Structure 1
Amino acid sequence: MEEKLSSVAKTLTPSPIQQLSFLAQRCDAINLAEGFPDFPAPLQIKNAAVSAINSDFNQYRHVQGICDHVACKMKEIQELNVDPLTDIVICCGQSEAFAATMFASKMSQGSHILVVNQFKDFFAFKGVFIMHACLCFISSVVEQGDEVIIFDPSYETYETCIRLAGGIPVYVALDPPNWTLDLDKLKKSFTSKTKAVVLNSPHNPTGKVFSKDELEIIAGACQTWNILAVTDEVYEHITFDKERHISLASLPEMQKRTIVTSSLSKTFSVTGWRIGWAIAPAWIASAIRNIHIKITDSAPAPFQEAALTALMSPHAYFDSLRRDYELKRDFVVDMLEKVGFKMQFKPKGSFFVFAPLPGSCTLSDVEFVEELIKQAGVVAVPGCGFFHTSLSAEDSSQAALGYQRRYIRFAFCKSEDTLAAASKKISGLVNGTGNFKLL
């Protein structure tokens, strides 16, 4: 019966990041692979969720207060006027299996589908709410054959959503080591079929925060080609070295063509709560809302109630969040440098370090991760899974061909105890001459 699967479904494979997390569990290894905190969420938010459950908020629900608070935050931080009644959609992931079934079923004109009410959480993996928000957006605007530009390296979800909707991802490579945007590369990526551009800033996996100059280049291209932009801003409150996140929507003439997606997950350490949102012009938000209702109906009711408490957090909370994560970033960067990594780029946001293997290391990224698990009991992510661009003939030097297999992503959204334990295990591979065994 495998022939009943769609051509897109046949290309999908398990998330390598989640597979590494499963491996960490089986091997009792320290998980620096997957981007979820292993420390408690803020107590007042957990208490709000418990209170909501005890108050029997158990049914389908739309908590308008979330939209009101998000609109206020966008005004305060990005100086954007957002109508909470028409421009914001609360997103989640519960009945995504239904959507997955629809996309995965191989259909032709007149085909019939028997729908059995035995749903499984098909999308039960990291970033499901943001995938749902992206999927709703992509489904609402992308048609068969439309091209969508993505900056590379990139998080795996974007390509999946685009392909499920029948679109074609077009990758524009950011230039290492600082992951700068090349204007000429961006210009060459546009065609008459380009429908949208996807922007993730602060960026996973590199930790790059796109500069205002780069955002202006992207905004100019969107206006020149009359296309839409969808932004993934889940790390908006996690920036370092006095760097400030700027939403693409806040640039002149961009709000009317930009869909902003974000969530509670990273900011409040609740990646399993599945509360996210999309902010868009009313005509797009309406389409996203209609698709969302058909797929999932509503986000988890008690966690929507708890989101109200989270979104009312004082400025001091966000300041403390940045300070704490900056210390964790510095700890991991220092740890890696001590064992021989050459950190040319220090992440400015998110909670990942994208570390290049030194030239002296003969292992590929995959081989390094495998040996790190075997010899140190620490799990990281090989960088090759984030790269999608094919190098051109003029860039066929060994150095150019190699860099896509020379990066390792370490997640530092972990407790001090976890990071200290990882450091001890990794440092334990330094031999008597002071050299790291794997490098």
Structure 2
Amino acid sequence: MEVLARIFDFAPPKHVTEALADVARSDNVLLHQYTKEYGHPRLVNILSKLYSKLINREINPDTEMLISEGAQQALYNIFNGILDYGDEVIVIEPFFESYEPMIRETGAKPIFIPLTHNGSNNGCVLTTNDFHLDKKELESMFNSKTKAILLNTPNNPLGKVFNMEEMQMIADLCKKWNVLCIADEVYEWLVYKPYQHIRMATLPGMWERTITVGSAGKTFNITGWRTGWAYGPAGLMNNFKVIYQNSIYAHLTPIQEAIAIAFEKEFDLMLNNPKECFFYTLSEELFTKREFLMKAFVKAGLKPIQPQGGYMIMADFQSQDLKIDLSKETESSKDIQLTKWLARKGLMGFPGSAFYGTENKHMAKNLIRFCFIKQDENLCAAARILDELFSNK
């Protein structure tokens, strides 16, 4: 059995799946036909209502919102809509692995800057709060070729939630150099107390230069429904809306209708009964799972990095080198060797170097990313495998 792979085995809320079933059985035949190309009216209306409240600015559902085939496609269209050959995009490492090839496909160049830590933390477990951008290094990367900076908060794979000071530093540089911010906020609801998600579009002067990306898959545990969105000022949205219209044309109507119904319910709960709102209850449930897996890693003598957000944990395996026989592995990268070795033991992860550019892949040579949005029985199975592999008994 392979556990801790990135595929969910965690159910969405019942009202979400019931909504899709109801739509499929509906007598309204139009729900099975093409919908409006930039987004099904019911869905863009509730999303614009939700985000208007969250960012304290009215969002026009017709001109400032786009529904896409997953957040990844929204990013793909954004890159192709705003980037030209020779442009530079600042990318913070570690990063979602699709960023680099999508940027390079446009002819633009990704410029990488790593999050770093001092490495000691007084012997305590590292948290993603210990990882920071070097201000002088970041400042040095902005120039006349810089078109955008890509900010993923909470970050995948690390789980870092950028604080106000860090966000303001990025915002100030964007304004100074007239640079766009592409804010990948798909894990916006998955933040663990006491940390809070800050939306870049809410900072002074940043609405005008920010495109924000979200995900229904990450919000409701429905990644297979492949639905995401982007919102921002109409002038920034136009180009990639044209790309979208002439490639996909329109996203799946019944899926959008069902997601709209789900958001309407959760928006009402958010306003009137937040303790029952899935936006908040999911992170509370995942907190317990995070703590369980962190303890399992520590017990096994590993060095996990405690995430502030998301549902991934990066774990450092260097301390267990003597118990890991990689002599039969053929890959040159140690983290890939580790990943394959663990997979054969029943523990599936993702090699850390996939989340770094070429120059900094060495920073992840001992790191593997694991997913903890899992049923408890699978987390317990993972803990048993770790114990069997690394126990000193």
**Fold equivalence (TM over 0.5):** yes
**For residue 379 of structure 2, what is the aligned residue in structure 1?**
419
Look up the SS of the partner of 2:246 in the other structure.
helix
CA distance in 2, matches of 1:310, 1:427: 40
Distance 1:54 1:424 in 2: 44
TM-score by length of 1: 0.78
Which residue is equivalent to 2:83?
Answer: 142
The 3-state SS of whatever aligns with 2:303 is: coil
CA contact (8 A) 2:353 2:362 kept: no
Residue 320 of structure 1: how far off its partner (Å): 1.2
1:187-198 aligned at under 5 Å gives the runs 187-198=139-150
Q: Per the alignment, in what secondary structure is the counterpart of residue 378 of structure 1?
A: coil
**What's the offset of the Cα at 1:290?**
1.6
* Corresponding residue of 1:290: 242
**Is this contact kept in 2: 1:86–1:282, CA < 8 A?**
yes
| Residue in 2 that maps onto 1:303 | 255
3-state DSSP of counterpart to 2:111: strand
Instruction: Give the secondary-structure state (helix, strand or coil) at the position aligned to 1:295.
Output: coil
**Partner residue in 1 for 2:4:** 32
Inter-partner Cα distance in structure 1 for 2:79 and 2:320: 43
Structure 1: distance between partners of 2:90 and 2:390? 42
Report the aligned-residue RMSD: 1.7
> Which residue does the alignment assign to 2:311?
351
- Report what 2:215 is aligned to: 263
Q: Which residue does 1:382 correspond to in 2?
A: 351
Question: Which residue does 2:46 correspond to in 1?
Answer: 69
Q: Does 1:369 align with 2:310?
A: no
Return the alpha-carbon distance in structure 2 between the equivalents of residues 239 and 80 of structure 1. Answer: 23
Aligned partners of 1:274 and 1:300 also within 8 Å: no
| Residue of structure 2 in register with 1:131 after alignment | 72
AA of the residue aligned to 2:75: C
Aligned equivalents of 2:50, 2:210: Cα separation in 1: 17
Which ranges of structure 2 fall in alignment gaps of 5 or more residues? Answer: 120-129, 325-333
Relative to 1, partners in 2 of residues 1:309 and 1:242: Cα closer, same or farther, differing over 3 Å? farther
Gaps of 5+ in 1: 1-28, 93-128, 392-400, 435-439
Worse overlay, 278-287 or 353-362: 353-362
**Alignment-derived partner of residue 60 in structure 1:** 34
Distance in 2 between residues matched to 1:155 and 1:353, nearest whole Å: 14
**Structure 2 counterparts to residues 267-286 of structure 1, below 5 A:** 267-286=219-238
Aligned pairs, number: 357
Report the CA distance between 1:341 and its aligned residue.
1.3
Matched, 1:88 2:65: yes
The equivalent of 2:99 in structure 1 is 158
SS at match of 1:384: helix
CA contact (8 A) 2:92 2:150 kept: yes
TM-score relative to the length of structure 2: 0.87
Which digits, 9 at most, give the CA deviation of each residue in 1:244-300, with x for residues without a partner? Answer: 111111100000000001110011010011111110111122222221111101111
- Quick one: distance in 2 between partners of 1:322 and 1:235? 10
One-letter amino acid of the counterpart of residue 4, structure 2: L
Write the letter of the residue equivalent to 1:81: E
